[in-house]
């Protein structure tokens, strides 16, 4: 049998495990995007979110980390032989993994026969009891989280919404699963304390939950009525078991009207300082033109997740847990693959230091990350000036001296939003 360097064997194992890119320190002849160790994990997380494919971070000395696709314990895999590396392949497809390779990447090892694994769970037939329970429910709501995106189950979600004739509530990690203008899009929820009640979950006969992230939708907040949890891979098969709908016409929940009232009132104000929802309306115009807008957790991230209307899946990204620098990393990995795609990172000034680390790592790769930082002492722009600056920023212009463009938004609109839907509970 022929021999190959260990780094080449690892590359082949990564390919069959669905690992699309590796960021961090060099590892023999393995193709690694060179970024500092402190930034590599954020690049890997951002890659999975932006491109929908697995990524790894090499921290150095054969220590690799893969963020998980779903919540679960981190698996530690020790690799001290070529056989152990090949045997590790099945564990690398979905879970969070710490992989420790103790072999020299240039060491010659026997070539192994490898082939991509067929996913274990890409079509899960529903139990008869699930179908019967759905059929008996007079009022049904679908609650979708980011897992429907990670498992590529959005078409199935559409099928189920149409076949069952019901609306869909999504947490902010699933923004864009429906165009905001669709009758099936009820609201983005989970950001404020009253979201789950005002969305009508407490009045449903049955909640169908799928792809939820505990960080965005703790069970004690959303499970306000009888509920079934369906794996994203079971959504499309479930849709096929639902006959033509005889349900009452869909109605929008109170949450939708309350959020719209506050949001749209902000749209009408064009003077400085801009209301936050006016700023996010301008971001939505960027998104409509094909851009990516990524925001970090915090004040700016709240307004992006809460009020930016989405028309495309993956156009808006806000993390479920605080990860300073994540927005900039999302923009960086997007521009590495699609340099002509407009993109923008939106942060609070408090995230400036972590964001600068990512910007420096991206600059070393030839990528400039456009950033707008919300700052109480920042630039006071009216609507026309903000739109004009955004056009320049996402197309590669500005800034020369300052690293970020700054923006002051009106702090008073937040009290209206809290009155509409309760205290902010995201990231708490």
* CA distance linking residue 209 with residue 217, whole number of Å: 10
Where do we find the tokens 């609306």? 167
pLDDT for the residue numbered 249: 73
Least confidently predicted of 9-18, 248-257, 359-368:
248-257
Q: Are 64 and 57 in contact (CB under 8 A)?
A: yes
* CA distance linking residue 66 with residue 55, whole number of Å: 6
pLDDT for the residue numbered 32: 98
pLDDT for the residue numbered 10: 96
Residue ranges, CATH 3.40.50.970, the chain: 257-421
* CA distance linking residue 155 with residue 240, whole number of Å: 12
Q: Residue 79: how many CB atoms within 10 A of its CB?
A: 21
As a whole number of Å, the end-to-end CA separation of the chain is 56
pLDDT for the residue numbered 113: 81
Share of the chain above pLDDT 90, in %: 86
Q: Are 86 and 13 in contact (CB under 8 A)?
A: yes
pLDDT for the residue numbered 122: 78
Q: Where are the alpha helices (DSSP H) in 206-289?
A: 219-222, 235-241, 254-267, 276-288
* CA distance linking residue 56 with residue 67, whole number of Å: 7
pLDDT for the residue numbered 244: 62
Average pLDDT of the residues of the chain: 94
Encode pLDDT of 26-48 as tens digits. Answer: 999 999 999 999 999 999 999 99
Encode pLDDT of 237-269 as tens digits. Answer: 999 998 665 566 778 999 999 999 999 999 999
Is pLDDT above 90 for 286?
A: no
pLDDT for the residue numbered 120: 56
Per CATH, the number for 128-252 is: 3.40.50.1220
Residue 282: strand, helix, or coil: helix
pLDDT confidence band for 301 (50 / 70 / 90) = very high
DSSP assigned state of 183: T
pLDDT for the residue numbered 393: 92
Select from 130, 298, 322 the least CA-distant residue to 207. Answer: 130
* CA distance linking residue 43 with residue 53, whole number of Å: 12
Q: 257-421: CATH homologous superfamily? A: Thiamin diphosphate (ThDP)-binding fold, Pyr/PP domains (3.40.50.970)
Encode pLDDT of 70-84 as tens digits. Answer: 888 999 999 999 999
Encode pLDDT of 336-350 as tens digits. Answer: 999 999 999 999 999
Is pLDDT above 70 for 117?
A: no
Encode pLDDT of 194-242 as tens digits. Answer: 999 999 999 999 999 999 999 999 999 999 999 999 999 999 999 999 8
pLDDT for the residue numbered 234: 96
Encode pLDDT of 378-422 as tens digits. Answer: 999 999 999 999 999 988 888 777 789 999 999 999 999 999 999
Contacts of 421 (CB under 8 A, 6+ apart): 191, 192, 193, 194, 195, 198, 255, 258, 259
pLDDT confidence band for 351 (50 / 70 / 90) = very high
Is pLDDT above 70 for 1?
A: no
Share of the chain above pLDDT 70, in %: 97
Is pLDDT above 70 for 423?
A: yes
pLDDT for the residue numbered 402: 78
pLDDT for the residue numbered 227: 98
Residue ranges, CATH 3.40.50.1220, the chain: 128-252
Is pLDDT above 80 for 115?
A: no
């Amino acid at each position: 049998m022929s021999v190959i360097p260990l780094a080449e064997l690892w590359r082949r194992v990564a390919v069959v495990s669905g690992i699309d890119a590796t960021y961090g320190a060099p590892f023999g002849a393995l193709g690694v995007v060179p970024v500092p160790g402190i930034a590599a994990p954020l690049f890997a997380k951002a890659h999975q979110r932006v491109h929908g494919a697995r990524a790894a971070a090499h921290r150095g000395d054969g220590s690799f980390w893969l963020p998980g696709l779903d919540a679960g314990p981190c698996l530690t895999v020790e690799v001290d032989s070529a056989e152990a590396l090949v045997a590790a392949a099945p564990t690398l497809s979905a879970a969070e993994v710490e992989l420790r390779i103790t072999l020299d990447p240039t060491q010659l090892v026997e070539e192994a026969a490898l082939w991509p694994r067929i996913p274990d769970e890409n079509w899960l037939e529903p139990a008869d009891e699930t179908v019967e329970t759905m059929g008996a429910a007079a009022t049904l709501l679908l609650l979708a989280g980011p897992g429907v995106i990670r498992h590529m189950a959005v078409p199935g979600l559409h099928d189920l919404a149409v076949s069952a004739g019901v609306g869909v509530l999504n947490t902010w990690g699933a923004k864009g699963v429906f165009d905001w203008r669709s009758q099936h899009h009820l609201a983005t929820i989970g950001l404020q304390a009253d979201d789950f009640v005002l969305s009508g979950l407490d009045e449903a006969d049955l909640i169908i939950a799928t792809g939820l992230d505990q960080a965005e939708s703790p069970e004690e907040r959303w499970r306000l009525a009888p509920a079934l949890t369906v794996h994203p891979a079971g959504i499309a098969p479930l849709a096929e078991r639902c006959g033509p709908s005889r349900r009452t016409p869909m109605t929008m929940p109170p949450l939708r009207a309350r959020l719209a009232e506050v949001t749209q009132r902000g749209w009408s104000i064009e003077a400085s300082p801009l209301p936050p929802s006016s700023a996010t309306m301008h971001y939505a115009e960027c998104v409509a033109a094909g851009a990516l807008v990524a925001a970090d957790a915090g004040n700016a991230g709240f307004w992006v997740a809460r009020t930016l209307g989405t028309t495309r899946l993956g156009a808006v990204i806000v993390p479920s847990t605080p990860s300073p620098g994540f927005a900039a990393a999302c923009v960086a990995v997007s521009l590495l693959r699609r340099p002509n795609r407009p993109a923008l990172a939106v942060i609070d000034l408090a995230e400036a230091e972590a964001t600068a680390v990512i910007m420096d790592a991206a600059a070393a790769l030839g990528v400039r990350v456009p950033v707008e930082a919300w700052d109480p002492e920042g630039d006071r722009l009216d609507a026309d000036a903000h739109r004009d600056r955004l056009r320049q920023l996402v197309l590669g212009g500005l800034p020369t001296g300052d690293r970020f463009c700054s923006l002051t938004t009106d702090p008073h609109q937040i009290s209206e939003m809290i009155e509409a839907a309760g205290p902010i509970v995201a990231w708490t």
